[in-house]
Amino acid sequence: MTVRTTRTAVVAATAAGLSVALAAPALAATPAGAGGHDATRKAMEAAVDAGVPGVTATGRDGHGTWSATAGVGDLKTGKPRSADDRYRVGSITKTFVATVLLQLEAEGRLSLDDSVEKWLPGLVRGNGHDGGRITLRQLLNHTSGIFNYTADQDFGRTYFLKDGFFKHRYDTKKPEELVALAMTHKPDFEPGTSWNYSNTNFVLAGMVIEKATGRPYGTEVRRRVIEPLHLTATSVPGTRVTVPGPSSRAYSKLAETAAGPTYDVTKLNPSIAYAAGEMISNSTDLNRFYTALLRGKLLPREQLAEMTTTVPIDEVNSYGLGLMKSDLTCGVTVWGHGGGIHGSTSEAITTKDGHKSLAFNFNGDWSGDAGAVIEAEFCGKGVQGQVARLSPGPGLR
């Protein structure tokens, strides 16, 4: 199975093509300023050529809002993707969760320097894990060293590969079960000594929100972020297995290689992701969220400064609190997050001043260069992406 990886190389197209024939990439757009996003459209078409069934994107800049689609949203009918498509956003959920935790800190209800043990006594324990030595801040910036439960081989076979997925796609998993699975492994490193992306961190963050507020973390996300920003396409599905319309189908190879049949994986119980990656949104809502966040409309100045204080990942990428910073080849710095879950690969990015933003989705998880789409939009040229995007393949990223 694959998890989120960090690398400066291009996210290679790993499939020669789909096993189901695609119609010629149909590109539809309502641009703000004719010809201003040609490189982005070409990068979207290149992703379809590489095997992604379809792409939907919406961007905002000083000229207004533009949208474009490429490829198809349904391999059986050939129906194109829509600019209004809702899709599973995977780990983009993490920025929403971090925002709520920081709001709680601003209200004096918790501190990022609190230990995990203080809020979730006895939960992070075993095989060298010690919640008393891990802070909430270390959960949010992935310096806790806690093992990533989705990297467990049995979990991967059960939920991300073909035989297991079709047998278990509707299973409900409790967050305590996900953490317990992580505790069966040794930590990746001593808390605060290194960096490694771990979905377990944000499962725990969601549980802390529930302990601090007495309400489900999804309720807090809705009342603190979704409703104030009027994000009408954004939801926290819990155990709901469908994606609300308008939406496209989601496709996966359900394999560790990009060869073989393509499967429709649209329906699944996202409780296996919980606060690490269960949310649903669309490109317009994601642009609004990240723009509002970076412009200080969701957090006081002190908490936004904490969120944007990063630890290095590699030469061009660093990670804050549920928020990633990447330096593009043209010198532009962008902030945001990527996300991957069965059949869905998404990116949401903005400049720090919120002046320019982009959100897009591939409805396939085995191919396509998301970094190239980002470079094309923010640098205006078609180059291979060097930012740390998602590696293709099934899994929660």
Per the structure block, which two tokens stand in for 324?
């990633």
DSSP 310-329: -EE-SSSEEE-SS-EEEE-T
Nearest Cα to Cα of residue 281 among 79, 129, 94, 71: 94
d(CA 228, CA 79): 33
d(CA 202, CA 211): 14
Please state the separation of Cα 68 from the chain's center in Å.
20
Instruction: Specify whether the CB–CB gap between 355 and 61 falls below 8 A.
Output: yes
- Could you tell me which residues are beta bridge partners of residue 334? 326
Instruction: Specify whether the CB–CB gap between 143 and 242 falls below 8 A.
Output: no
Contacts (Cβ under 8 Å, ≥6 apart) of 24: none
Beta carbons within 10 angstroms of residue 305's beta carbon: 12
Nearest Cα to Cα of residue 313 among 392, 388, 391, 397: 388
Query: What is the amino acid identity at position 171?
Result: D
d(CA 131, CA 124): 5
Active site (catalytic) residues: 91
| Strand order, beta sheet including 357-362 | 28-29, 64-71, 54-61, 357-362, 344-350, 333-341, 324-327, 317-319, 311-312
Sole residue written with tokens 């499939």: 15
Sole residue written with tokens 């078409």: 45
Nearest Cα to Cα of residue 319 among 148, 138, 150: 138
